[in-house]
Structure 1
Amino acid sequence: MHVFFRLSFLLGLCLVLAHPLPARAQGGPAAVATERVAMRTMSETISVFGEVVSGRQSAVAARVAGIVTEMPLSVGDRVSEGDVLTRLDTELLEIDRALAQAEIEIAEAGVTVATAQRDRAEKALRRAEALKANSTIAEAQFDERSGDYNSALGAEQQARARILAAETALAQMEYRLKNATIRAPFDAVVLQVGAEKGEYIAAGAEVATLLDLGATEVEANVPARFVSALRPDLVVPARTDAGGALNLALRAILPTEFAATRTRPVRFAITDTSADFAVGQSVTLDVPVSAPRDLVVVPKDALVQGQNGWSVFLNVDGKAQPRNVEIGAAMGGGFEVLSGLQPGDEVVVRGNERLRPGQDIAPSGGAPRGDGGGGSEPGNAAAEAEETPEPETPDAPEDAESASDTEQQG
């Protein structure tokens, strides 16, 4: 028995020596971490789902008919504006162009002949007019000279019209030759190839489908009652389903509304393309639902919940001073302060779980290493917050499942 009691005494002594910190810390200040209450320009936001859509997707068509002689494309290729997509056979078109050029030369020769005939007829008419004035020519002869002149003048005009027709035919041949080479109308990615080498294609047949990545946008259906909060210069952060970040800029609010969901389609331009995305991919946008306003914000870890509501400990001349606060909406790591605090107040964010009013504290920039003055090591306020429900946010939107606030840039 004596041996047993002696062993128990020694074991208890070892346990006391092994944990001397609480006993030694009883008389010293509690080590805590503090932060300043800040004034921030905030805007309440809701998370809405959007989709990456194509601003420009074109099925490039052949403008002329012909047999494909060259098709250098494959699906997935990137092309620049002006790159060759398809070439058509031009042998017959070149023959037709030569024929049109010959027709122009024939028409020009016809104009030369018609002009000479018109000159002769005009001179004969002028002589007849002089003779008629002296009454030395019969009326029938004068009418004949006048008729000849009018016929020559008409023939000349007809010859000139043949030149215009021949020039038009040549322009048509030039158009066909030019468009026998089909080029990319903009920088794009090839989504589909619609023709093969040796294949005959008609005018209007699809050659390739191109997607302009530079014109890609995000379309989101925003609740109609929040559309008035959207500004023309609005920048909205977004996340892809793969975790990539995108920056979006409001481009247009479409003048349509879905009656079933009471939402309106809104288009956003993608201003930051560093993240990998694809047409049809889902993205989540943090869309503001109110105008920016200046708010007093307290860090979340500073809040302690008690029977009378929420409170914080302030550092007042090195002592813990409790203060009841009224809080509002969540503000991304903090909460809006409706009453009880002012900007610049220094609140305890670590080591505040077991502080006593008036207790001496030793603020530091990091997590506390001593106890809170109550005989045990301070816990982590963030961990305790997981067990304590967050305060209600009465100003949150009715249908926003994940309402939050983001700080406005600029």
Structure 2
Amino acid sequence: MRFGVSAAAIIAAIVFTVMGPNATYAQGRPASVQTEIVSVARMSETSRVFGQVVAERESEVAARVPGIAAEIPVRVGSRVEGGDILARLDTELLQIEVARAETELMIAEAGVLVAEARLDRALKAFGRAENLRASANISDATLEERTSSLAEARGLRQEAQARIASARNAMDRAQYNLRNATVRAPFAGVVLEVSTEIGQYVTAGSRVVTLLDLGQLEVQANIPAALIEALRPDEPVKGTTGTGVVLDLELRAILPTEFSATHTRPVLFDLIDSDANVAVGQSVTLDVPASAPRDVLVVPKDALVQSRDGWSVFVNDDGIAAPRTVEIGDAVGGSFEVLSGLQPGDEVVVRGNERLRPGQPIAPNNGAGAGTSDGGERPPASAGAAASQSAPSPSGDDEEGSLQPAAATVPSGVDGTETARTGELGRG
């Protein structure tokens, strides 16, 4: 009896080993799979170029008046707002000059009063002389003297008024010097360099601090001239820093110059996110468009199975796994362009296709946690395969398996740029 039971167990084990996961198929039960619909996506081929973060505005803030530096409240790295104090000069002499100018103005104003009084007397004397002349009671010499005195009084009044204007100019200058003895930030930014020390004599026009405007950062890149026509202000460009920060960029200006050695032109991009964590001089890799976007039919990478005849997929044909030979093109995100073999709306198997056979019944199970037809988890795509340099082509020596797609990258050898045949997936 024990021998019979052992023999039956051995036979069952042999059957399971031979049939394996296909036992359910042999028994006519449909294989559990996951499927996706073949759709149209917008593909944009891009070229990879290298640029760097630059400051649109960096200023060497200078002193407007000479003097001795008395106070410097900032240091390298200080963040300041527009109007904040960067340095103060000694103002003792400047205050004396303001007081002197005020005194000179008062003297000039008093001089005008004196000149107007003299003019008034001269006018009255001349009037009396005119009346006496009519009655012949005054000589011609006396009348000429009164006329000369009137002209002199008028001239003295004009001179006094000119002295007031001069005194006011001196007053304005003294106040200007006193006011500008305090050096203020012309805009908000970060202090990159302090060029003056306390006690140091500062001449007019000499640099006090260097100020960087962090609110006006942009990315500059030298773009190959052949790619300039593909740039559009309404099409954002992706950039990635060396630390992995992804930047959304917008075309600002294409400078009308070209470097003859590299056939590139300088192009400026605005940072859409002004709060991005970047630094001036930081390297940025940009994916700029190499051609106009186009709509293509795409198939998920996990649907592709390689065989000796090329790439194929399993299509859900009313619950039956129907094989289709396909011709694939460029990578588009996590999918591949379909050149032939499929139509929009086709339902292809993306999980559980490893052990499917033509004509095998299938049962799509697209819920969360669905596994493969053999009840196991499908292994994830390896990172190395996802970073391969080109879409693999089938070979007669390759084993059957699913495709791990990648963006094909072809170095251009011009000014450190490289062309990336990648697409951005956008449902059409």
Structure 1: tracts of 5 or more residues without a match: 1-8
- Is contact 1:354–1:378 with CA below 8 Å preserved after alignment? no
Q: Secondary structure at the match of 1:197?
A: coil
1:2-401 alignment to 2 at 5 Å?
16=14, 19=17, 21-22=20-21, 24-27=23-26, 28-132=29-133, 137-273=138-274, 275-306=276-307, 309-365=310-366, 368-371=371-374, 382=381, 390=391, 399=412, 400-401=418-419
- Is contact 1:78–1:190 with CA below 8 Å preserved after alignment? yes
| Alpha-carbon distance in 2 for matches of 1:281, 1:11 | 69
Q: Deviations over 1:170-225 (max 9, x none)?
A: 11111111111111111111111111112221111211111111111111112222
CA 1:385 to 1:215, structure 2 compared with 1: closer, same or farther past 3 Å? closer
Deviates most, 92-101 or 74-83: 74-83
Partner of 2:421: 403
| Alpha-carbon distance in 2 for matches of 1:104, 1:238 | 63
- Is contact 2:38–2:343 with CA below 8 Å preserved after alignment? yes
Alpha-carbon distance, 1:153 to partner? 1.0
| Alpha-carbon distance in 2 for matches of 1:39, 1:23 | 34
Partner of 2:403: none
- Is contact 2:32–2:372 with CA below 8 Å preserved after alignment? yes
Q: Secondary structure at the match of 2:176?
A: helix
| Equivalent residue letter for 1:328 | G
Alpha-carbon distance, 1:342 to partner? 2.7
CA 1:271 to 1:141, structure 2 compared with 1: closer, same or farther past 3 Å? same
TM-score (norm 2): 0.82
Alpha-carbon distance, 1:337 to partner? 2.6
Q: Secondary structure at the match of 1:192?
A: strand
- Is contact 1:248–1:270 with CA below 8 Å preserved after alignment? yes
CA 1:22 to 1:232, structure 2 compared with 1: closer, same or farther past 3 Å? closer
| Alpha-carbon distance in 2 for matches of 1:203, 1:385 | 64
CA 1:38 to 1:129, structure 2 compared with 1: closer, same or farther past 3 Å? farther
Deviates most, 100-109 or 350-359: 350-359
- Is contact 1:51–1:218 with CA below 8 Å preserved after alignment? yes
Alpha-carbon distance, 1:87 to partner? 1.0
| Equivalent residue letter for 2:53 | V
| Alpha-carbon distance in 2 for matches of 1:216, 1:105 | 52
Structure 2: tracts of 5 or more residues without a match: 1-6, 394-405, 413-417
Q: Secondary structure at the match of 1:209?
A: strand
CA 1:303 to 1:133, structure 2 compared with 1: closer, same or farther past 3 Å? farther
Q: Secondary structure at the match of 1:256?
A: coil
CA 1:114 to 1:363, structure 2 compared with 1: closer, same or farther past 3 Å? same
Alpha-carbon distance, 1:13 to partner? 6.1
Q: Secondary structure at the match of 1:198?
A: coil
CA 1:274 to 1:127, structure 2 compared with 1: closer, same or farther past 3 Å? closer
- Is contact 1:47–1:403 with CA below 8 Å preserved after alignment? no
| Alpha-carbon distance in 1 for matches of 2:411, 2:267 | 20
| Equivalent residue letter for 2:24 | A
Alpha-carbon distance, 1:283 to partner? 0.9
| Alpha-carbon distance in 1 for matches of 2:66, 2:271 | 39
Partner of 1:4: none
**TM-align CA RMSD:** 3.3
| Alpha-carbon distance in 1 for matches of 2:147, 2:10 | 144
| Alpha-carbon distance in 2 for matches of 1:336, 1:22 | 32
| Alpha-carbon distance in 1 for matches of 2:70, 2:218 | 36
Q: Secondary structure at the match of 1:406?
A: coil
| Equivalent residue letter for 1:16 | I
Alpha-carbon distance, 1:326 to partner? 3.6
| Equivalent residue letter for 1:402 | A
CA 1:409 to 1:171, structure 2 compared with 1: closer, same or farther past 3 Å? farther
Q: Secondary structure at the match of 1:148?
A: helix
Q: Secondary structure at the match of 1:405?
A: coil
Deviates most, 293-302 or 125-134: 125-134
Alpha-carbon distance, 1:123 to partner? 2.6
- Is contact 1:250–1:269 with CA below 8 Å preserved after alignment? yes
- Is contact 1:223–1:262 with CA below 8 Å preserved after alignment? yes
Q: Secondary structure at the match of 1:369?
A: coil
Deviates most, 66-75 or 377-386: 377-386
Deviates most, 118-127 or 200-209: 118-127
| Equivalent residue letter for 1:404 | T
Deviates most, 359-368 or 70-79: 359-368
| Alpha-carbon distance in 2 for matches of 1:188, 1:378 | 54
| Alpha-carbon distance in 2 for matches of 1:356, 1:381 | 22
- Is contact 2:353–2:372 with CA below 8 Å preserved after alignment? no
- Is contact 1:301–1:381 with CA below 8 Å preserved after alignment? no
CA 1:329 to 1:227, structure 2 compared with 1: closer, same or farther past 3 Å? same
Partner of 2:398: none
| Equivalent residue letter for 2:344 | P
Q: Secondary structure at the match of 1:52?
A: strand
- Is contact 1:25–1:370 with CA below 8 Å preserved after alignment? no
Alpha-carbon distance, 1:295 to partner? 2.6
| Alpha-carbon distance in 2 for matches of 1:221, 1:44 | 18
CA 1:308 to 1:141, structure 2 compared with 1: closer, same or farther past 3 Å? farther
| Alpha-carbon distance in 2 for matches of 1:133, 1:298 | 119
| Alpha-carbon distance in 2 for matches of 1:200, 1:38 | 73
- Is contact 1:313–1:322 with CA below 8 Å preserved after alignment? yes
Alpha-carbon distance, 1:265 to partner? 1.2
CA 1:66 to 1:97, structure 2 compared with 1: closer, same or farther past 3 Å? same
